[in-house]
Amino acid sequence: MASEVFERVYEIVAKVPPGRVVTYGQIARRLGMPRGGRAVGWAMRRCPSFLPWHRVVSTQGTISARGHPLAASLQEALLADEGIVFDPSGHIDLEVVGWDGI
């Protein structure tokens, strides 16, 4: 069951275009799991590196720690390379770069 959910999460993540982000909650709602943000988080911990994992952020538009001390700075750098801007408090404007195409 979990592997099926994980695969569905990865299908969505694969579609997020450069310069856009989605939230854990958005993915969960799209999968019919309105309170499943944590399950999406578990899937993202095991996300294959070839997928654009860095385009998934928290509902607040912030980077969530992924277990490795350098993961947050890597994610921020990858997003910045795509033109995504962080405000001084480390938030992304989801109204500007959030992707609703899922």
Q: What is the pLDDT of residue 66?
A: 67
Look at residue 37 and tell me if it is in a domain. Answer: yes
Look at residue 14 and tell me if it is in a domain. Answer: yes
Average pLDDT, the chain: 93
Look at residue 102 and tell me if it is in a domain. Answer: no
CATH number of the domain to which 58 belongs: 1.10.10.10
Number of domains making up the chain: 1
Q: Is the pTM of this model over 0.85?
A: yes
CA 95, CA 46: separation in Å to the nearest integer? 28
Look at residue 79 and tell me if it is in a domain. Answer: yes
45-61 mean pLDDT: 95
Q: At residue 51, does pLDDT exceed 80?
A: yes
Domain of residue 46: give its range. 2-97
Instruction: Evaluate whether 17 touches 29 at the Cβ level (below 8 Å).
Output: no
Show the 3-state SS of the chain: CHHHHHHHHHHHHHHCCCCCEEEHHHHHHHCCCCCCHHHHHHHHHCCCCCCCHHHEECCCCCCCCCCCCCHHHHHHHHHHHCCCCECCCCCECHHHHECCCC
